Amino acid sequence: MDNVTYERGIFQMNSMINASIENDEIYQIIGWNAQKNKIGVTLKKYNELKEIADGYYNVLVEKGIIEKPKTAEEIAKEQQKIMTDMLNQMKIMQEEIKDLKKSEKNNIEDLNIMLTKDNKNDIQENIVLQENKKSDKKLLNFK
């Protein structure tokens, strides 16, 4: 690096290089013996290579070997759909919970009604039994 200089402790480098273009390739020419180091290609060559690479890329996408990266808009749409599906599922689950609670409440009320009827029957039976016992005692006492 013969273009590097130090000035007051600050590293500085000359931003100019010697270069040449041969067959759409850019070479840096180093030193007095004109040693060549390939450092790039011309814009024309770059565009040709990019067209070839894009062609291969498109073929790979068409055949399903690779997938195109999703755009931010596509990702946002997918996330929105997922959120909508989740909200709909939550609504369905809430309705099911309401139905279960209502059904449970109805079942409890039905049980209470049944128990109340059973209790009334038991009470009536007890009254009848007690009356029968009283009448039996009266009959026994009467004899």
Residue type at position 34: A
Task: Determine the Cα–Cα distance for residues 3 and 30; give it in Å rounded to an integer.
Answer: 11
Q: What is the pTM of this model?
A: 0.42
Position 103 scores a pLDDT of 82
Reported as a single tens digit per residue, the pLDDT across 62-108 is: 999 999 899 999 999 999 999 999 999 999 999 998 888 888 777 77
Q: What is the pLDDT of residues 3-27, one digit of tens each?
A: 555 455 555 566 778 888 999 999 9
**Residue boundaries of the structural domains of the chain:** 4-62
Distance CA 61, CA 5 (A): 51
Q: How far is residue 97 from each of residues 75, 83, 92, 108, 135, measured CA to CA in Å?
A: 33, 21, 9, 16, 56
